[in-house]
Amino acid sequence: MALEPVLPLDRIDPNACLHDAKAIDALIPHRGPIRQVDRIVFAEPPLMIAGVKEVQNDEFWCDGHIPGRPVMPGVLQLEAGAQLASILDTLCHGADRFMGLVRIDEASFRGSVEPGDQLLLLGYRLKPAHKRRFVCHCQGLVKGNIVFDAQITGFTM
């Protein structure tokens, strides 16, 4: 059975910019090379969000994962999804707290992410907005193809 995107792609312009890197810095605490979301391109809190990671040739993992053919580690793809979910939660509840990753369920990888790729991140909240917890279905797409899919749960820390 083919996996479908969790958001309507016809409503998302991956080149748009609702929140740039500076605005994202005000929403989540991740900085420097660990921040995996470059911009938010679509948001309809409390349910939907989309962001983009422009995968560069000088990412910190390129030299060692995998030499000669760098591939973005799956754990960083999941981190990008978790950061996207955290941004959605912050847009709902404000930036006065930190949402930490506590669980990843049903994660699957269906393709690679390489330098030069634009990783489109999609997030759809699975449970109603809650002050202490979020559960979000997150996906990453490259050139319209789903490369990762996971259910991500975070909790106020």
Residue 83 resides in a domain: yes
Q: Say if residue 115 is preceded by a cis peptide, omega within 30 of 0.
A: no
What range does the domain containing 57 cover?
9-156
Give the DSSP letter of residue 64: T
CATH code at 131?
Answer: 3.10.129.10
Residue 150 resides in a domain: yes
Q: From first to last of its 157 residues, what are the pLDDT tens digits of the chain? A: 569 999 999 999 999 999 999 999 999 999 999 999 999 999 999 999 999 999 999 999 999 999 899 999 999 999 999 999 999 999 988 888 778 899 999 999 999 999 999 999 999 999 776 778 899 999 999 999 999 999 999 998 7
Residue 1 resides in a domain: no
Residue 24 resides in a domain: yes
Give me the active site residues, please. Answer: 65
Domain total in the chain:
1
